[in-house]
């Protein structure tokens, strides 16, 4: 059973004025036990030498370079594991205060989140014709 907490932030415009308030529910993944709550974690990291090589190649061949930032990336991944978490504070069901919630999508803080996002992203790139480097 995973617990969570609310994270509140203020987002500001370039001039320093308040743009909006943000709130998100983050799971406390550090409460998950290996082998019980999750089987495996994984978060790929690109070596700096690989980045330099790809950028040099793109520059020498005049290839266009694009950058991608997926907003709320972890929220786009459907979990294959079964994960239960305590009701979010402020959103408890008063008729069933002891009930728990089943998580369908990945959330920040969950140990499986980086692995599930990478798996979905890599599968999509392969479907577009890319080949994974070994």
Each of the 134 residues of the chain gets a pLDDT tens digit; together they read 788 888 899 999 999 999 999 998 888 877 777 766 666 777 778 889 999 999 999 999 999 999 888 888 888 788 888 888 888 888 888 898 888 888 888 888 888 888 888 888 889 999 999 998 77
> What Cα–Cα distance (Å) separates residue 38 from each residue in 27, 31, 75, 86, 111?
14, 11, 18, 17, 7
Which pLDDT value is given to residue 25? 85
Count how many domains the chain has. 1
Which pLDDT value is given to residue 41? 72
Which pLDDT value is given to residue 104? 87
> At CA 108, angle to CA 103 and CA 113, rounded to 5?
70
Q: How many helices (H) does the chain have, and how many strands (E)? A: 2, 4
Distance CA 46, CA 68 (A): 15
**Is residue 110 included in any domain, yes or no?**
yes
**Is residue 133 included in any domain, yes or no?**
no
**Is residue 67 included in any domain, yes or no?**
yes
pTM: 0.65
Distance CA 16, CA 18 (A): 7
**Is residue 134 included in any domain, yes or no?**
no
Domain of 33 in residue numbering reads as 4-127
Count CA atoms within 13 Å of residue 27 on its CB side: 26
Which pLDDT value is given to residue 106? 84
**Is residue 132 included in any domain, yes or no?**
no
Provide the 8-state DSSP code for 128.
T
């Amino acid at each position: 059973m995973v617990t969570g907490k609310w994270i509140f932030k203020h987002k500001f415009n370039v001039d320093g004025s308040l743009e909006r308030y943000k709130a998100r529910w983050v799971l406390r993944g550090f409460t998950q036990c290996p082998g019980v709550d999750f089987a495996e974690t994984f978060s790929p990291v690109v070596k700096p030498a690989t980045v330099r090589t790809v950028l040099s190649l793109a520059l020498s061949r005049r290839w266009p370079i694009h950058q991608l930032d997926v907003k709320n990336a972890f929220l786009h991944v459907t979990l294959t594991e079964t994960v239960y978490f305590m009701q979010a504070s402020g959103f408890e069901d008063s008729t069933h205060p002891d009930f728990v919630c089943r998580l369908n999508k990945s959330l920040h803080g969950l140990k499986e989140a980086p692995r599930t996002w990478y798996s979905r992203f890599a599968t999509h790139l392969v479907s577009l014709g890319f080949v994974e480097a070994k």
